[in-house]
């Protein structure tokens, strides 16, 4: 079993997907990830000031260096890492609701 | 004499006041002296004096303090009502602001009332004691304490000024600073001190940093900065509000005074800055000047007033508040700053209230004694409904009244269940059979909706015929009663408006609303007032202004009311903040409110078009009716429209409403075939007829279900209505002369609904429930579809049933999507407005009550409930369908899991959608585009490429913290486009992925001991028997019996422990070697110590395929767990894997761990 597959299996357990047919697992994991990516992006944009949004937009448009983007966001959003982790953890809890 | 004494003496001599003001209050009052004048101190500078008083002055100060003490006692008596109980209540939080306002008002009144007679020491004393009391009162909030402090300073200042003004005296130095003014002795005063003193005197004259408006309503603030003793000039800063430009100037006092008087001080910015600021300022001015004219006027007068926020419109309120804050900042340092501060605090409080959807700062009009009596009577009748259902009176017993009230409301919500409401008779076109439909009219629907909104479960509804009711239920709109009718002995209750006394401005929805408000179950709000008023009008065929909107009725809520339900109206009036149901809706809105929708697999259903056709047909028909004599004139009613449904084609599908729009004030529907008739007017009906009955004061009806022969004639009716002056013409005349000729046995039509004004009558044709709004389907309908699948009817009906199923599912899905969005939108709007303000104003705005907005807000709760209902409906449909297809057991569990997960994802996705739609500012479009782009790219990405991202993104969600890769993921989300393009997905998400792997290596449980035990049928049996024994043993009568039972219990417990042990061994072994007995045999006898060493030498996650790796994983997972960590290492060199596993299994059987 490759490392990725092992993690994936564990993820399936954690996200409540164990026991479902593989194609269902794949479909649901994909959907979840798609939504979470949007939430992370939105969480970032909502926390930036207008002037910083402009800079960030330019960075995206010009496909700026990722390290540069990282430095920028860390500098503009206090506790950025923690905020993102919270968004993600909250998402996971919501996914498990009712299971 | 010390310096202060000299000052005091100087003032005393100047004013001719004896220096005895500290000796007694009475003397001071008689002499009219003021403490301020005597000390020549700024009014609020209470600290001055005591610090440098000596000798005689010190004694006098002591006397003053004694006096203060006495006054404190007097004031304590004055503010007696602030007792412990109120204090406790205030400190509980929810009523804190209200209590604060009340207390402050009371105290302020006390101050001002006494200010005319009081002098400064008295006020000072009062302020000290009241301030202390207030601070204690609100000791849990520091900010409140500060506010109290400031407010009291202001109160004292005002009170002192008032007292002084009444005595015709002035505070401090007045007039210009000319040399004739007596200089106060200031021995040893430095140049700086002198400059400062002159500045202070200037401030006393013009105020602290005066603010003024020029002729063009531009606002300036003047800051007195310094005084040059040599040049005798003032240095001032002038700040122009519009551009924020600040300029420095030097003027002599005379010049300065002149410029201030002539408003000639300017500090304008220039260029683009000015342009931008002015554009911004103009938009603000528009609002400030438009919305708060009183405030502007007062400002111009040099004062500030409390802002009145009129409407609970979030967008409208947030903006002005930001502006108020802006103005408030500008006023900092001025004389009105404190007042502005108070206003600002008030404004925030009001906005918070506004976010709760209430009318902000608008006092509820005082009820008249009659209205109060009426409200009490309604509440009393309503409480009977609850009382009649209470079985145990202890349930509402309480220590305090408040607790009692809370319990009563809780019981009311719990016990009001089982409703009856009138349905509608519907004719089967094929068989002619009449059946009662399971839906109410708009009035009934809204009465039920209001009950739901108040937290009452209305799931149990029985539909009855008009005029019938259901024993033991709460009957709504069923007929023959007026208001709330209930008794303690009888569970049957009524909320109705069909009694003999019922008036035409009532409806069951209105009666229900009044009842719920009077009981405290519902908050009276503007939107509910509007909603209920609208239902009232519809139910009473009272359509104000119909002649103006009838032509466009097909695109108005009013015209399409029969397709509405409570939820639609709630969204229209509340969420979308529409006050006017007669305004034209856009195409998008018609779709949004469900008047136009697409059925899955079917054509677009357009109820708006239907209504348009009706309106157009009616507009052509009515002139024709008039031509044929069917519109007659009367003195009392004006034009009377007459619709004869016997032998004539019915050609006014718009019924009374269309006729009203055409200029009729009354309408008669005559149906001899069905022995019924119906009269409706826009004023009180003055006649009595020999058949039928009056309904409220504007209608008369002999309904179709009244089977009695029709003995009255149409001629008789029309004659009465025209005071015997009927002069029929045309076809009407022909009919009246020979009605039998027109009789037709078939096609008997009755007035479209029992009451004119209700849905059918609008268009004059019977509607079918399935043709209404998507959400208005009959209850239980969809169950039928699912059950059909189960019973195999699908085969019988073939494609038709499948089509119906798909249609039904599409409808349910559509409703669920709408309910989900409505709920999340409401939650977002309510919460974001609060957080927006909180972010802007910081902690000043923070309040625990509003953090809980989502949980407690009645509107959010309502939409959540609607969503939950639709969700349950959807889930049940899918599961029933699955069962119908023969899916059972594990597969059914999987199906349920998928449904739940799908919904959880959809809920989150919709939340994103709502946030994107509500993203404010210049970048809203960018955000929308980016999210759309992200979705599309993600959709298109192949799974093989997605996996890396899935693992890292969801891996982060799983581990939650400490991956060190969260930022990378965040950037990854934003830069998805670039990352996909760069084909560097694995590299980019590497960090988080590794972190996830690391996490799983150490903490992922690998053996489910507890779950495995639960699966063992022997243990399940033992548990059942043990439970029985535990109940049986205490009741055993015979000793022998007891002994037997106890022994059995011991046996079972031992057996259970043994079984647990065996199960644990099996579980651990299975993990290590799976079902491969050979592999287990090969390792079981090997020394555990050696294997652990080997296992730990490699990365376990990568070696999970090896026995050593798995043993090592068990070790790692248990090494930090109490009960195991000391016992994991081998007991000796010879201990085998089997021994080790058994040892662990023994520890685990004691229930110390459920998972490894």
- Whose structure tokens read 């599908």? B653
N-to-C CA span, chain A: 28
Percent of chain B with pLDDT over 70: 60
Maximum alpha-carbon separation in chain B? 122
Burial grade of B960 (CB within 10 A; 0-12, 13-18, 19 or more): middle
DSSP assignments along B158-184, one per residue? HHHHHHHHHTT---S--S---TTSPPP
pLDDT of amino acid B682:
86
Answer yes or no: are the C-beta atoms of B1058 and B1150 closer than 8 Å: no
**Mean pLDDT lowest among A78-87, B209-218, B421-430:** B209-218
* pLDDT at site B1005: 61
Contact (CB, 8 A) for B230 and B204: no
Q: Which residues, at least 6 apart from B625, have a Cβ–Cβ distance to it below 8 Å? A: B631, B641, B642, B643, B651, B652
Instruction: Give per-residue pLDDT as tens, B618-646.
Output: 888 898 898 889 999 988 888 999 998 76
* Least confident window among B171-180, B249-258, B570-579, B983-992: B171-180
CA–CA gap between residue B610 and residue B596 (Å, rounded): 10
Select from B916, B957, B976 the Cβ nearest to the Cβ of A89: B957
Q: In the A/B pair of chains, how many CB contacts fall below 8 A?
A: 214
pLDDT at B510: 94
Residues of B with Cβ-Cβ distance to A7 under 8 angstroms: 951, 955, 993, 996-997, 1000
CB contact under 8 A, A56 and B912: no
Quick check: B112 pLDDT over 80? no
Q: How confident is the model at residue B697 (pLDDT cuts 50, 70, 90)?
A: confident
- For the beta carbon of residue B201, count every other beta carbon within 10 angstroms: 19
Structure token pair of residue A37: 């990516």
Q: Is the pLDDT of residue B305 over 60?
A: no
The per-residue pLDDT for range B505-524, each reduced to its tens digit, is 889 999 999 999 888 888 88
CB-based contact B409:B521 (threshold 8 Å): yes
**Which pair of tokens denotes residue B91?**
């400190």
pLDDT tens, position by position, B670-689: 888 778 889 989 888 888 89
Higher pLDDT, B871 or B201: B871
Residue in A33, A53, A80 nearest the CB of B954: A33
What tens digit of pLDDT does each residue of B843-884 get?
333 444 444 444 557 778 888 888 998 999 898 888 888 888
- Does A79 lie at the interface with B, CB-CB under 8 angstroms? no
Of B90-99, B227-236, B647-656, B1084-1093, which gets the smallest average pLDDT? Answer: B90-99
Question: Is the CB of B939 less than 8 angstroms away from the CB of A7?
Answer: no
Residue B35 has pLDDT above 60, yes or no: no
Residue listed under structure tokens 């809204």: B446
Order of strands across the sheet that contains B482-485: B461-464, B419-422, B474-476, B493-497, B482-485
Q: Do A36 and B953 touch (CB under 8 A)?
A: yes
Q: Which of B158-172, B987-1001, B1131-1145 has the highest mean pLDDT?
A: B1131-1145
Confidence of residue B241 (pLDDT cuts 50, 70, 90): low
Cα of B459 to nearest chain A Cα, Å: 23
Q: Identify the three-state secondary structure at position B837.
A: helix
Phi, psi of B519 (to 5 degrees): -80, -10
Instruction: End-to-end CA distance of chain B: give it in Å, rounded.
Output: 88
Closest partner residue to B950 (CB to CB) among A30, A38, A50 is A30
Kindly state the tokens that stand for B18: 């004896």
From B222-226, B416-420, B427-431, B1141-1145, the region with the lowest mean pLDDT: B427-431
* In the predicted structure, residue B474 carries a pLDDT above the cut 60: yes
Where is average pLDDT lowest: B106-110, B311-315, B409-413, B737-741? B311-315
Q: What pLDDT was estimated at residue B493?
A: 92
With H, G, I as helix, E, B as strand and everything else as coil, classify residue B631.
strand
The answer to whether the Cβ–Cβ distance between B926 and A44 falls below 8 Å is no
Using a CB-CB cut-off of 8 Å, the residues of chain B touching A85 are 956, 960-961, 963, 966
B1004-1058 per-position pLDDT tens digit = 566 778 767 777 778 888 888 888 898 888 888 887 788 888 888 888 888 888 8
Q: At residue B482, does pLDDT exceed 60?
A: yes
| pLDDT beyond 60 at B187 | no
Structure tokens at B764: 């004059």
d(CA B1145, CA B1152) in angstroms, rounded, equals 10
Q: Which residue has the higher pLDDT, B714 or B468?
A: B714
Angle at B88 between CA B87 and CA B93, to 5 degrees: 100
Q: Residue B687's pLDDT is what? A: 87
Q: Rounded to an integer, what distance in angstroms lies between the CA atom of residue B219 and that of residue B285?
A: 11
| Mean pLDDT of the region B735-740 | 85
Helix (H, G, I), strand (E, B) or coil at B246: strand
pLDDT tens, residue by residue, B1071-1122: 887 767 778 888 888 888 888 877 655 544 344 567 777 888 788 778 777 7
CB B245 within 8 Å of CB B258: no
A76 close to B (CB below 8 A) = no
Residues of B in contact with A28 (CB under 8 A): 898, 901-902, 905
Nearest to A85 among B894, B966, B1101 (CB): B966
- In this prediction, residue B15 carries a pLDDT of 32
Q: According to the model, what pLDDT value does residue A79 have?
A: 83
Tokens representing residue B60 in the block: 């006098």
Mean pLDDT of B316-335: 56
CA-closest candidate to residue B558, choices B587, B538, B575: B538
Residue B115's pLDDT band (cuts 50, 70, 90) = very low
List, as own/partner pairs, every contact residues B786-791 make where C-beta atoms lie below 8 angstroms and the sequence separation is at least 24, other chains included.
B786/B876, B786/B877, B786/B880, B786/B881, B786/B883, B786/B884, B787/B880, B787/B884, B788/B884, B789/B880, B789/B881, B789/B884, B789/B885, B790/B880, B790/B883, B790/B884, B791/B884
Cα radius of gyration (chain B): 41
What mean pLDDT do residues B134-154 have? 43
Highest mean pLDDT among B174-178, B337-341, B1125-1129: B1125-1129
Of B238-242, B358-362, B848-852, B958-962, give the lowest mean pLDDT range. B358-362
Rounded average pLDDT over A85-91: 84
HSE at residue B798, side-chain half, CA atoms within 13 A, is 1
pLDDT score of B447: 96
Q: What is the pLDDT of residue B666?
A: 92
Q: What is the pLDDT of residue B13?
A: 33
3-state secondary structure of B494: strand
DSSP H helical segments within B757-888, as ranges? 759-763, 781-791, 793-797, 799-841, 848-851, 853-856, 858-884
B window 1000-1059, beta carbon within 8 A of A = 1000, 1004
Whole-Å CA distances, B1043 to B397, B927, B1027, B1031, B1038: 45, 76, 17, 15, 9
Residue B282 has a pLDDT of 62
- Inter-chain residue contact B970 with A29, CB threshold 8 Å: no
> How many other C-beta atoms can be found within 10 angstroms of the C-beta atom of residue B1072?
24
Helices B1137-1147 and B1107-1118: crossing angle in degrees, nearest 10, is: 30
Lowest mean pLDDT among B362-371, B384-393, B440-449, B771-780: B771-780
CB count within 10 Å of CB B1117 equals 21
Distance CA B213, CA B2 (A): 45
CA dihedral for B809, B811, B815, B818, sign (positive or negative): positive
Average pLDDT, chain B: 70
Residue B257 has pLDDT above 70, yes or no: yes
B806 vs chain A: nearest CA distance in angstroms? 22
d(CA B698, CA B130): 61
């Amino acid at each position: 079993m490759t490392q990725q597959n092992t993690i994936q299996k564990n993820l399936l357990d954690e996200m409540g997907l164990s026991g479902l047919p593989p194609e269902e697992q794949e479909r649901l994991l994909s959907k979840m990830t798609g939504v979470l990516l949007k939430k992370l992006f939105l969480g970032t944009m909502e926390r930036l000031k207008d002037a910083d949004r402009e800079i960030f937009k330019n960075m995206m448009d010009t496909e700026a260096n990722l390290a540069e983007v990282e430095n920028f966001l860390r500098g503009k959003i206090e506790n950025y890492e923690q905020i993102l982790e919270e968004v993600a953890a909250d998402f996971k809890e919501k996914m498990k609701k009712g299971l | 004499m010390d310096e202060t004494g000299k000052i005091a003496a100087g003032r005393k001599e100047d004013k001719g006041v004896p220096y005895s003001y500290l000796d007694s209050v009475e003397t001071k009052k008689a002499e009219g002296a003021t403490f301020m004048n005597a000390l020549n101190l700024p009014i609020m500078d209470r600290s001055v004096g005591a610090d440098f008083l000596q000798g005689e002055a010190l004694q006098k100060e002591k006397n003053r303090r004694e006096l203060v003490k006495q006054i404190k006692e007097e004031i304590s008596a004055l503010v007696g009502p602030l007792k412990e109980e109120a204090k406790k209540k205030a400190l509980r939080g929810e009523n804190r602001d209200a209590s604060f306002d009340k207390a402050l008002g009371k105290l302020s009144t006390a101050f001002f009332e006494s200010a005319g007679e009081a002098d400064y020491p008295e006020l000072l004393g009062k302020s000290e004691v009241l301030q202390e009391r207030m601070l204690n009162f609100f000791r849990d909030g520091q900010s409140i304490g500060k506010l109290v402090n400031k407010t009291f300073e202001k109160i004292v200042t005002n009170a002192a000024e008032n007292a002084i003004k009444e005595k015709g005296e002035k505070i401090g130095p007045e007039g210009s600073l000319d040399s004739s003014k007596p200089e106060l002795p200031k021995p040893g005063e430095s140049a700086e001190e002198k400059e400062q003193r002159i500045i202070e005197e200037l401030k006393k004259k013009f105020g602290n940093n005066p603010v003024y408006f020029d002729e063009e309503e531009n606002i300036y603030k003047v800051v007195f900065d310094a005084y040059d003793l040599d040049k005798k000039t003032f240095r001032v800063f002038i700040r122009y509000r519009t551009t924020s430009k600040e300029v420095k100037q030097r003027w002599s006092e005379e010049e300065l005074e002149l410029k201030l008087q002539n408003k000639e001080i300017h500090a304008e910015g220039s260029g683009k800055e000015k342009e931008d600021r002015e554009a911004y300022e103009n938009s603000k001015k528009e609002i400030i000047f438009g919305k708060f004219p009183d405030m502007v006027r007062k400002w111009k007068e040099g004062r500030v007033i409390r802002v009145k926020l009129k409407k609970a419109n979030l967008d409208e309120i947030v903006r002005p508040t930001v502006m108020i804050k802006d103005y408030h900042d500008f006023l900092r340092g001025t004389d009105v700053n404190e007042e502005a501060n108070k206003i600002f605090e008030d404004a925030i409080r009001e906005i918070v209230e506004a976010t709760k959807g209430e009318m902000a700062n608008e006092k509820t009009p005082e009820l008249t004694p009659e209205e109060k009596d009426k409200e009490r009577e309604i509440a009393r009748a309503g409480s009977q409904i609850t009382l009649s259902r209470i079985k145990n009176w202890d349930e509402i017993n309480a220590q305090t009244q408040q607790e009692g009230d809370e319990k009563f409301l809780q019981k009311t919500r719990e016990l009001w269940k089982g409703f009856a409401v009138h349905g509608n008779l519907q004719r089967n076109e094929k068989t002619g059979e009449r059946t009662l439909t399971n839906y109410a009219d708009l009035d009934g629907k809204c009465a039920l909706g209001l009950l739901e909104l108040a937290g009452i479960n209305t799931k149990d509804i029985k539909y009855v015929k008009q005029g019938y009711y259901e024993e033991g239920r709460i009957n709504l709109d069923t007929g023959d009663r007026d208001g709330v009718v209930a008794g303690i002995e009888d569970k049957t209750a009524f909320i109705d408006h069909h009694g003999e006394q019922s008036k035409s401005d009532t409806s069951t929805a209105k009666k229900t609303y009044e009842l719920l408000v009077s009981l405290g179950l519902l908050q009276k709000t503007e939107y509910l007032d509007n909603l209920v008023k609208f239902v009232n009008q519809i139910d009473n065929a009272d359509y104000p202004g119909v002649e103006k909107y009838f032509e466009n009725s097909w695109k108005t809520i009013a015209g399409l009311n029969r397709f509405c339900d409570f939820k639609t109206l709630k969204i229209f009036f509340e969420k979308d903040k529409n006050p006017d149901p007669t305004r034209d809706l856009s195409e998008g809105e018609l779709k949004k409110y469900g008047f136009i929708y697409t059925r899955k697999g079917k054509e677009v259903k357009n109820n708006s078009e239907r209504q348009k056709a009706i309106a157009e047909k009616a507009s052509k028909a009515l002139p024709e009716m008039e031509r044929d004599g069917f519109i007659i004139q009367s003195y009392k009613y004006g034009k009377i429209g007459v619709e004869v449904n016997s032998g004539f084609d019915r050609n006014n599908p718009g019924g009374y409403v269309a006729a009203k729009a055409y200029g009729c004030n009354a309408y008669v529907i005559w149906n001899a075939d069905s022995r019924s008739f119906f009269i409706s007017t826009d004023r009180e009906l003055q006649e009595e007829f020999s058949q039928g009955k009056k309904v409220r004061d504007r209608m008369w009806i002999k309904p179709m279900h009244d089977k009695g022969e029709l003995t009255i004639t149409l001629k008789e009716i029309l004659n009465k209505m025209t005071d015997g002056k009927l002069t029929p013409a045309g076809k009407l005349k022909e009919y009246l002369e020979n009605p039998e000729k027109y009789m037709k046995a078939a096609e008997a039509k009755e007035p479209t609904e029992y009451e004119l004004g209700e849905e059918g009558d609008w268009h004059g044709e019977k509607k079918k429930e399935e043709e209404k709004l998507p959400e208005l389907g009959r209850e239980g309908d969809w169950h039928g579809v699912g059950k059909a699948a189960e019973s195999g009817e699908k085969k019988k009906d073939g494609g038709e049933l499948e089509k119906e199923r798909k249609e039904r599912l599409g409808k349910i899905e559509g409703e669920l999507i709408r309910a989900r969005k409505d709920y999340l939108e409401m939650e977002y709007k309510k919460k974001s407005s609060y957080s927006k303000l909180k972010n802007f104003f910081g902690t000043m705005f923070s309040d625990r009550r509003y953090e809980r907005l989502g949980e407690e807000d009645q509107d959010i709760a309502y939409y959540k409930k609607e969503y939950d209902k639709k969700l349950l409906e959807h889930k049940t449909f899918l599961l029933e369908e699955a069962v119908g297809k023969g899916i059972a057991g594990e597969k059914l569990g999987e199906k349920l899991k998928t449904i739940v997960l799908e919904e959880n994802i959809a809920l989150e996705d919709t939340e994103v959608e709502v946030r994107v739609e509500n993203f404010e500012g210049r970048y809203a479009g960018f955000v929308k585009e980016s999210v759309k782009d992200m979705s599309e790219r993600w959709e298109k990405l192949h799974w093989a490429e997605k996996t890396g991202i899935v693992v890292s993104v969801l891996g982060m969600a799983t581990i939650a913290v400490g991956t060190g890769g969260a930022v990378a993921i965040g950037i990854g989300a934003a830069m998805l486009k670039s990352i996909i393009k760069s084909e560097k997905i694995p590299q980019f998400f590497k960090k988080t992925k590794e972190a996830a792997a690391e996490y799983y290596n150490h903490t992922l449980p690998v053996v489910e001991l507890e779950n495995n035990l639960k699966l063992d049928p022997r243990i399940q049996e033992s548990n059942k028997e043990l439970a029985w024994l535990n109940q049986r043993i205490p009741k055993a009568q015979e000793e022998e019996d007891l002994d037997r039972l106890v022994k059995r219990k011991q046996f079972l417990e031992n057996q259970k422990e043994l079984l647990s042990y065996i199960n644990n061994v099996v579980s651990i072994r299975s993990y290590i070697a799976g079902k491969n007995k050979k592999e287990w045999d090969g390792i079981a006898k090997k020394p555990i110590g050696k294997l652990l060493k080997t296992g730990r030498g490699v990365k376990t996650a990568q070696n999970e395929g090896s026995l050593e790796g798995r043993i090592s994983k068990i070790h790692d997972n248990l090494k930090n767990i109490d009960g195991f960590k000391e016992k994991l290492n081998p007991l000796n060199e010879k201990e085998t894997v089997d021994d080790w596993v058994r040892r662990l299994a023994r520890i685990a059987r004691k229930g110390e761990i459920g998972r490894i």
